[in-house]
Amino acid sequence: MLWYKSWLETRTRFFIALLGISALCLIRVYIGEIDVFTRLPLLRTVEYRTVLDEGHSMLCFLWMMGVILLTMGGLLREKATGAAPFTLALPVGRPRLLGTRIGMCLAEAVVLAIVPWIVMFLTASVFGEAVSLDQAGFLLALLLSGGMVFFGVALLVSSLVEGEYTAPMVSFGVVFAGLMALNSMSLDKYSPMHFASGGGLIDRHTGLVVGPIPWVHAVEWILLTVFLVAISLFAIQCHEF
């Protein structure tokens, strides 16, 4: 039933994020398909590839925001809304409470990545473009590994700061500041956003991701996320309500 609670708690946000992101992805691919300036369909496949590639970059960004929004919640938010004592009086340990939240957020995050991609894929197919599942899968793998770091950060922040809407605000701040810092110091290769959006792996001429999926890096990002989750768990265990 904790799952039920988690679902009821996040479903509105989840559906809004899902619809919003899918719609924006659809529009991006649609606009890309019909050149907005000439009102003529694009002729070159390469340009079209770039459209999908840009669609993915946009998805990464929106997904990051969506995940931060979904991760808003948990005991510290309930402390602000006043429901924490009720939750804490249930015969459930804090690790399980956090675990359920993580599970629900991850499931929703995965859907939030896959569905917009299906939308982009279908939109492209309707216009008769050849899109390969391999490419979509490649980019998704990048997003779901590198992007996880954003989830980890949002979870950690939500386990440290109280307030109804404080956690997402702080998370956005931390993430943007972090990304800007990495960007300004030309340390893009350490940026999870750079990794998730396929930076450095996309062929500039074809707009395709090339080479094998960088599994090692992917695992590194996931390990970093696991580390952030572990700190969150520790923080929640120690917190006094």
Partner 1 sequence: MSDSYAIFTDNLGKSFGKMKAVRGLDLAVKPGRITGFLGRNGAGKSTTIKMLLGMMRPTTGEGTVLGKRIDCPRESVEMRRRVAYVSEDKRLYGYMTVEQIIAFTGSFFPGWRPEVAENLLGEYELPRKRKIKALSRGMRTKLALLLAFARRPELVILDEPSEGLDPVGIEQLLRAMAVQCAEGTTVFFSSHQIADVERVADDVCMMEKGKLVLRLSLDEMRKSYRQIDAVFPAAPPELNFRVPGILSVRESGRQLSFLASGDTEAIVDRARDLHAVSVDVAPVGLRDLFLEMVKER
Q: Counting contacts by CB under 8 A, is residue 234 touching partner 1?
A: no
Stretch that binds partner 1, among 89-97, 107-115, 116-124, 211-219 (CB under 8 A): 89-97
Closest-CA residue to 161 (of 236, 103, 237)? 236
1 vs 43, beta carbon nearer partner 1 = 1
DSSP letter for 170, please. H
Q: Nearest 5°: phi and psi at 34?
A: -105, 115
Q: Counting contacts by CB under 8 A, is residue 217 touching partner 1?
A: no
Choosing from 37, 44, 91, 186, the residue that interacts with partner 1 (CB under 8 A) is 91
Q: Counting contacts by CB under 8 A, is residue 125 touching partner 1?
A: no
Choosing from 43, 86, 130, 212, the residue that interacts with partner 1 (CB under 8 A) is 86
CA 157 to chain centre: 16
Q: Nearest 5°: phi and psi at 41?
A: -60, 145
Q: In angstroms, what is the C-alpha Rg of the chain? A: 19
Q: Counting contacts by CB under 8 A, is residue 93 touching partner 1?
A: yes
24-83 positions binding partner 1, by CB under 8 A:
81-83
Q: Residue for token digits 């070159």?
A: 44
Task: Please answer whether residues 33 and 48 qualify as being in contact, where contact means their C-beta atoms are separated by less than 8 angstroms.
Answer: yes
Choosing from 42, 92, 160, 182, the residue that interacts with partner 1 (CB under 8 A) is 92
Task: Please answer whether residues 163 and 83 qualify as being in contact, where contact means their C-beta atoms are separated by less than 8 angstroms.
Answer: no
Token code pair at residue 158? 């939500």
101 vs 194, beta carbon nearer partner 1 = 101
Which residues lie near partner 1 (CB under 8 A)?
Answer: 1, 4-5, 8-9, 12, 81-86, 88-94, 237, 240-241
